[in-house]
Amino acid sequence: AMADYTRGVVALLEAESRLPATVREAAADAYQAREKELRKELQAACAEAEAAVRHDFETLVQPQLKAGADTATADAYRTAQTWPLNMHWATYKATTRRNGVFRLNMNEELTAPILKAVSVQWEQAFLSGLQRTLNKLQTRAEAAFTGFYPPLLDALTVAGVPASASSTLSSIRPDALMNTLSGTLAELKDAAGKQQRELSRGIEPLVQEKMGPGYVAATAEAGTGSHRRRGDLL
């Protein structure tokens, strides 16, 4: 493919010096017009892919995150009720003093129902759904690249460029561009997976931050009955 492309460029350059200035200008205009059309096609394909990803998140993931948070509210209360029953008072206090993390990670246990509720939607939006979107984007881009040359050849003919100079363009296959595109889309998928994991990990610190005042108040309890009051506060 690279050899075919090089031969085509050489043929065009060899012919260029023999072509009238008006033909060279017309050929340049033809290429720039076709390049502009290609750019618009690729930008439209990218915009459609971005909209599809956003739609999947807004319709699949975001509502389930809210539903998971509602479910977690009830689950968190029941979970917190078990802590003073299953933990020694000193261990319980040591945990609240350390913002919910000691031998037990309270924040992790409170976060679990949210992640459980949204796990299927994460997979649909960021794995299988994203792969379908990227496959469609690649197909559209490949079609745009492959379809770039025939109209260009027609335009060059109309511009007066001899077939001997432009005919080799018809055999060019954009394999190198396709390989680059495939690599870029693979990077996008990896980046989306990484972002998903970062978003998931970001929920627990937020829970810990919101629980902060409760941990402080629970830790401050002392004296007879403090273990029960600490559990009630938390």
pLDDT in tens, 94-118: 999 999 999 999 999 988 887 777 7
Shortest CA distance to 10 belongs to which of 148, 154, 164? 164
Q: CA gyration radius for the chain?
A: 31
Does the structure show a pLDDT above 70 at 28? yes
Tally DSSP H helices, then E strands, for the chain.
10, 0
Q: What are the CB-based long-range contacts (under 8 Å, 24+) for 37-40?
A: 37/151, 38/144, 38/145, 38/148
pLDDT at 3: 63
Q: Ranked by mean pLDDT, which of 72-86, 141-155, 166-180, 213-227 comes out on top?
A: 213-227
pLDDT at 168: 63
Higher pLDDT, 89 or 116: 89
| Residue where the block lists tokens 């379908």 | 132
pLDDT at 206: 92
CA dist 233 and 221 (Å) reads 9
Does the structure show a pLDDT above 80 at 187? yes
Cβ contact 159:149 at 8 Å: no
CA dist 142 and 138 (Å) reads 6
What pTM does this model have? 0.60
CA dist 147 and 31 (Å) reads 13
| Residue where the block lists tokens 């990670």 | 105
Least confident of 7-11, 41-45, 141-145: 7-11
Cβ contact 219:95 at 8 Å: no
Does the structure show a pLDDT above 90 at 223? yes
| Residue where the block lists tokens 């402080």 | 216
Task: Write down how long the chain is.
Answer: 234
Please state the rounded mean pLDDT for residues 85-98. 95
Please state the rounded mean pLDDT for residues 113-138. 77
Does the structure show a pLDDT above 70 at 137? yes
On average, the pLDDT of the chain sits at: 83
Does the structure show a pLDDT above 60 at 1? no
Output phi, psi for 105, to 5 deg.
-100, 95
The CA-CA-CA angle for residues 61, 116, 198, to 5°, reads 65
Does the structure show a pLDDT above 90 at 190? no
Higher pLDDT, 187 or 212: 212
Confidence of residue 212 (pLDDT cuts 50, 70, 90): very high
